[in-house]
Amino acid sequence: MYDFSCEHCGGLVKSRTAQQEALRHKGRYVILEDVPIGVCEKCGARYYDASVMRRVAEIGRGTAPSARAVEIPVAKFEG
């Protein structure tokens, strides 16, 4: 699925399985577990197959069930 040149640095993108990956869908986050991704060995850029993005959209729209929901704390940075 992967094994191509990174569009950012020209490094090699290799397949990995991410334990958890948070992705945005219409201003909200969906967390997928055990998801196949591509990661550049040189710069760390992440790549996602269209099937992964479709799954995120389905869960984000509520047309596919999720296993559970988690609460994420949000705060403004005040440096």
* CATH number of the CATH domain containing 44: 3.10.20
Would you tell me how many other CB atoms lie within 10 Å of the CB of residue 24? 10
pLDDT string in tens for the chain (79-residue length): 899 999 999 999 999 999 999 999 998 899 999 999 999 999 999 999 999 999 999 999 999 999 999 998 999 999 8
pTM of the model: 0.83
Q: What is the pLDDT of residue 40?
A: 98
Q: What is the pLDDT of residue 79?
A: 84
Number of structural domains the chain divides into: 1
Q: Residue 30: which domain range?
A: 4-61
Q: What is the pLDDT of residue 35?
A: 96
Distances in Å between the alpha carbon of 47 and those of 21, 23, 28?
11, 11, 19
